[in-house]
Structure 1
């Protein structure tokens, strides 16, 4: 087969067998580029980006790399500095005669995209063909029941006609992968990954090494190309699903009480989404609120947040592993005429996400990439969803969900854009070469339709609409909610002045549920089973578990067992699932504190019968014993009982002394 090679020295053509080793291609490259440093040679299927070092492809043949007749391979390398003998030609793999890998193969190591562990939803979609079946069309299909034609054959997940008919604006991530992955005879794992992270930074050092590094010098080989902003054809998440309305109601409660805006991170997981071909949805099971300062028209939150490692580790130990799938913030303002309604401020006539919020979203998405076997460095884009709780047109409150595009993330990483006073406008920064962290800003353009319906290309400097950076994500609530956590009643963290998380509240709750007396399920009675169900329901609270992890009462293994037990979907139906929790040392320690926290039990026979006044709980037991020992045995009359006890008509305390006033309230006994 014919393979074309393009390097900085020109274009070349060579004939290879499909089974030819990569070493043969390398030798041809060195023939055409005698000054190339072999250890720096990279090949790619596109002019810029997706470069892969030849040294990483040892032992691979051209067919397994997806190369076919007529393909064009782009070659880049660094020139030798001290002549041809300065850098030896790297070894290529030689087949071993004993069936074991050769020394060169052993030195190759694992490629970045092969070492990553993808999310369970990615593993699922890679095992599916993704095609959409169609039934036989009675109008056009002329074949038998077992036949197939163009009118009834399954559609590819990226079929443009289907997406247009179903009003689906973006391809799902895996449908996009199916579209851009070459149809080669080898398996997908054997191909060069089709994705490469987008970057608008100047390459340092320059691949040509013909000038001083940036900012002292720049050339076409190291500077980024001009940017044309366009709608991203795919999205990493197609739908945001909040497992229960209670999750949002508890989050909104702080705003309802104070009027100050709130921020929280979505804790959840990813699942297949059947409304979009090969779709993915983010399912929110809880909201964790980091330390923040709310204001009437905004808020301040520290990023990165201090408790992120602990919260992520706690989430990973749920019965269904959880992670941070996004974040949510409020932008609510009551209307002047009716304080029960909210101002409708985010719409097509104003903005959906402000430029500041879009830059914030890009920053967080860059910090939370998605692991991918289809990317040259093992990571690509992000599944972090941005959600806003804001007013609707009729004055209600609804969720809006977005992501920002890869272009937005790359521009923020390159320090090219900034927020403006107008929330719907993004400013392009000026180029700056005056310091070490110099900024290079290439030409930026965007397209729009003018008043005549014609598409026009316009420079984005100094500013452009923020909509060019946004990717819409649908949202909703399940028809039959089955949240992982059964309760949302425990106090929420970092709400000073509104709610406080105290161990005393936990102990009181456990005493109310009778937890200290509960045995393991093998010793349970019918009444114990009912108590265990109520205990499981109360303990299955994300905020309660997150708080107990900070008390020091539970070891790392104990808190893992706690999370697994109370987050089980069947914990209310199968009470034995609580057994691993009740058997931990941390739980036993908590029960000891609960018993000590219980109020003292007053004697029912030897001590005088008193009223249910709370002041009695502060009287030491010794006083009751002394009073009981001095009780007279004779009878009496009036308000004096047969045991010589006189009941106070004011506080109902049973007096045993001979005085005229009550020894508790001090009023006359009558």
Structure 2
């Protein structure tokens, strides 16, 4: 996504585009939605030159057929517009594309952007008002069919409902609806994007005419002071592990070796009905990265199979939704209890872990039509498996805040030696660090501002989520089995054709009898087995792989039968026996 800025006597505008977008599309969008009625034949575009000088200028019709890339435009470039106004709104044509001025159609502008893409789930939640129903109460004076202020539905962002139901954060879509209720009121004629990504970096291409930082600075290019507050919304409300065996198998590596482990959560995002307009991350399996495990941490190695893992996920209708890692130490009591390291008196996620989560969230950013840039924060979650105050192994789920992403992108923060503190970097020739504050209640219960330099509590960049398991395993796409999990060679577990046949033999008997289709499908529905079959053996062709994945996804007996009768599967069974 590229943002091109335009400055004119009627204001400054920002348009989103791609490198291959025809420049005529941007010009027509300007004429249609941004500028007053103009004479399009007089429209002149001035390009930026070296330094702070103005570059070449062209009539709009001369460059309209070129793409953004062909014109050499980059993200953030500022173009100057000159034109003559027209008293009569009329149709205009730039490079053969006819745009009709909005005022001449008699129609108001759309109440939401129509040229942005996002997930189907987000589109579904956008259409849902998310009203919270209320029953008739003691103050109601009407019959059963009536409604009054005491029983009418509440908006999904209602603060009293949030407090009464102990909801710490409202859902993201409830937050967007609340912003839209004030910025884009119903019946209004204009649209204002309610969301804007945090940008705390200094503008090195200031339009004021002075030299860039560090030689010059002004109020236009200098970022404003930052006040950190606990984020009131969360992009994802709940993390749901489809079965407990998946988590136990992941923890098993620590039980066997005493070393920590990290994995990628594979699943999908669904509605979460317990929160108005809520979203949950459904986790169906855990892929374990190539890594060097240690007793007090781990080292991630080069992930050569990333494209293979993500590709197989997409074919199964899944995607990476988060990461999970362990921080476990045996209590030495001989009863299986573990040490509680993370609590309100220490930390829940260390500063280095928060920045690690930020890097993943930026990698898997969230497409959002309500943001100026077309994306906003991330739905990617981070789960920590550690000991609780009772010495029990427990999962906790978090996300880094959107402000944390902005601070990281601007290179303003780094981890500190104290895990509960985030360090603020110092200003240099290449980095300007604005004033940063955070709010807290003092000993008298009064809200006060504190200077965040040199460090501040990491909890201001953290959002906690709930987690749990479904009431039944019917929704689980995969089942756990004894097939070896990837990248566990140091535990003596390896994926090969022998282990594949051992799994088939254990499941179906020495004759590999496939008559029980339900059992066959159940035994094949294991992520680690599927990944090895599809991406490592290369025995099945593309059609047979498609049959395999469809059989797992649909549990259709006809598809399973076609798979088992295919030449590739027969060859696989033969090779496995060898």
Identify the residue that residue 340 of structure 2 maps to in structure 1.
344
Whether the 8 Å contact between 2:342 and 2:386 is mirrored in structure 1 is yes
**SS across alignment from 2:483:** coil
Whether the 8 Å contact between 2:91 and 2:99 is mirrored in structure 1 is no
Please report how far the alpha carbon of residue 146 of structure 1 lies from its aligned counterpart in structure 2 after TM superposition: 2.2
Identify the residue that residue 499 of structure 2 maps to in structure 1.
505
Identify the residue that residue 277 of structure 1 maps to in structure 2.
276
Identify the residue that residue 477 of structure 2 maps to in structure 1.
484
Identify the residue that residue 563 of structure 1 maps to in structure 2.
549
Identify the residue that residue 198 of structure 1 maps to in structure 2.
198
Structure 2 gap segments, 5+ residues each: 1-5, 16-25, 37-46, 60-79, 103-111
Task: Find out whether 1:378 has 2:367 as its counterpart.
Answer: no
* 1:62-121 C-alpha deviation (Å, 9 max, x unpaired): 99xxxxxxxxxxxxx9998489999663699975599x9972539x9xxx9644432232
Task: Find out whether 1:41 has 2:12 as its counterpart.
Answer: yes
Whether the 8 Å contact between 1:121 and 1:272 is mirrored in structure 2 is yes
**What CA distance in whole angstroms lies between the structure 1 residues aligned with 2:444 and 2:477?**
53
Identify the residue that residue 363 of structure 2 maps to in structure 1.
367
**What CA distance in whole angstroms lies between the structure 2 residues aligned with 1:38 and 1:582?**
70
Whether the 8 Å contact between 1:402 and 1:472 is mirrored in structure 2 is yes
Identify the residue that residue 149 of structure 2 maps to in structure 1.
150
Alignment of 1:28-177 (within 5 A): 37=8, 41-42=12-13, 56-60=29-33, 81=54, 89=82, 96=91, 103-105=97-99, 114-137=114-137, 139-177=138-176
Whether the 8 Å contact between 2:563 and 2:569 is mirrored in structure 1 is no
Task: Find out whether 1:468 has 2:439 as its counterpart.
Answer: no
**SS across alignment from 1:594:** helix
**What CA distance in whole angstroms lies between the structure 2 residues aligned with 1:306 and 1:598?**
29
Whether the 8 Å contact between 1:355 and 1:423 is mirrored in structure 2 is yes
**What CA distance in whole angstroms lies between the structure 1 residues aligned with 2:406 and 2:486?**
34
**SS across alignment from 1:135:** coil
Alignment of 1:409-488 (within 5 A): 409-433=405-429, 438-482=430-474, 483-488=476-481
Identify the residue that residue 578 of structure 1 maps to in structure 2.
560
Whether the 8 Å contact between 2:441 and 2:447 is mirrored in structure 1 is yes
Higher Rg of the two aligned structures:
1
2:489 is aligned, of 492, 496, 505, to 496
1:554 is aligned, of 536, 540, 550, to 540
Q: From the superposition, tell whether residues 279 and 382 of structure 1 become closer, same or farther in structure 2 (CA, over 3 Å).
A: same
**What CA distance in whole angstroms lies between the structure 1 residues aligned with 2:13 and 2:27?**
6
Identify the residue that residue 518 of structure 2 maps to in structure 1.
533
Identify the residue that residue 210 of structure 2 maps to in structure 1.
211
* 1:419-452 C-alpha deviation (Å, 9 max, x unpaired): 111111111111111xxxx111111111122222
* 1:499-521 C-alpha deviation (Å, 9 max, x unpaired): 10002221343355569988xxx
**What CA distance in whole angstroms lies between the structure 2 residues aligned with 1:535 and 1:509?**
12
Alignment of 1:219-368 (within 5 A): 219-302=218-301, 305-318=303-316, 321-338=317-334, 340-368=336-364
Q: From the superposition, tell whether residues 136 and 251 of structure 1 become closer, same or farther in structure 2 (CA, over 3 Å).
A: same
Q: From the superposition, tell whether residues 554 and 200 of structure 1 become closer, same or farther in structure 2 (CA, over 3 Å).
A: farther
Please report how far the alpha carbon of residue 486 of structure 1 lies from its aligned counterpart in structure 2 after TM superposition: 2.4
Aligned residue pair count:
514
Structure 1 gap segments, 5+ residues each: 1-29, 31-35, 45-52, 64-76, 519-526, 600-670
**What CA distance in whole angstroms lies between the structure 1 residues aligned with 2:441 and 2:260?**
37
Identify the residue that residue 529 of structure 2 maps to in structure 1.
544
**SS across alignment from 1:370:** coil
Q: From the superposition, tell whether residues 102 and 391 of structure 1 become closer, same or farther in structure 2 (CA, over 3 Å).
A: same
Whether the 8 Å contact between 2:539 and 2:572 is mirrored in structure 1 is no
Whether the 8 Å contact between 1:516 and 1:594 is mirrored in structure 2 is no
**SS across alignment from 2:198:** coil
Identify the residue that residue 185 of structure 2 maps to in structure 1.
184
Q: From the superposition, tell whether residues 310 and 116 of structure 1 become closer, same or farther in structure 2 (CA, over 3 Å).
A: farther
**SS across alignment from 2:568:** helix
Whether the 8 Å contact between 1:392 and 1:398 is mirrored in structure 2 is yes
Whether the 8 Å contact between 2:514 and 2:564 is mirrored in structure 1 is no
Whether the 8 Å contact between 1:135 and 1:152 is mirrored in structure 2 is yes
Greater per-residue strand proportion: 2
Please report how far the alpha carbon of residue 213 of structure 1 lies from its aligned counterpart in structure 2 after TM superposition: 2.2
Q: From the superposition, tell whether residues 597 and 243 of structure 1 become closer, same or farther in structure 2 (CA, over 3 Å).
A: closer
**SS across alignment from 1:536:** helix
Deviates more, 1:536-545 or 1:179-188: 179-188
Deviates more, 1:216-225 or 1:235-244: 216-225
* CA RMSD of superposed structures (Å): 3.5
When normalised by structure 2's length, the TM-score is: 0.81
**SS across alignment from 1:423:** coil
**SS across alignment from 2:149:** coil
Q: From the superposition, tell whether residues 40 and 507 of structure 1 become closer, same or farther in structure 2 (CA, over 3 Å).
A: farther
Please report how far the alpha carbon of residue 592 of structure 1 lies from its aligned counterpart in structure 2 after TM superposition: 1.9
**SS across alignment from 1:42:** strand
**What CA distance in whole angstroms lies between the structure 2 residues aligned with 1:146 and 1:544?**
57
* 1:255-302 C-alpha deviation (Å, 9 max, x unpaired): 110000000010011111111111001010000011111100111114
**What CA distance in whole angstroms lies between the structure 2 residues aligned with 1:388 and 1:219?**
44
Q: From the superposition, tell whether residues 564 and 101 of structure 1 become closer, same or farther in structure 2 (CA, over 3 Å).
A: farther
Please report how far the alpha carbon of residue 142 of structure 1 lies from its aligned counterpart in structure 2 after TM superposition: 1.2
**SS across alignment from 2:271:** strand
Q: From the superposition, tell whether residues 338 and 505 of structure 1 become closer, same or farther in structure 2 (CA, over 3 Å).
A: closer
**What CA distance in whole angstroms lies between the structure 1 residues aligned with 2:55 and 2:557?**
75
**SS across alignment from 1:543:** helix
Whether the 8 Å contact between 1:113 and 1:372 is mirrored in structure 2 is no
**What CA distance in whole angstroms lies between the structure 2 residues aligned with 1:183 and 1:121?**
22
Please report how far the alpha carbon of residue 366 of structure 1 lies from its aligned counterpart in structure 2 after TM superposition: 1.3
**What CA distance in whole angstroms lies between the structure 1 residues aligned with 2:575 and 2:170?**
60
**What CA distance in whole angstroms lies between the structure 2 residues aligned with 1:557 and 1:431?**
58
**SS across alignment from 1:271:** strand
Identify the residue that residue 68 of structure 2 maps to in structure 1.
none
When normalised by structure 1's length, the TM-score is: 0.70
Please report how far the alpha carbon of residue 193 of structure 1 lies from its aligned counterpart in structure 2 after TM superposition: 2.4
**SS across alignment from 2:82:** coil
**SS across alignment from 2:123:** helix
Whether the 8 Å contact between 2:386 and 2:393 is mirrored in structure 1 is yes
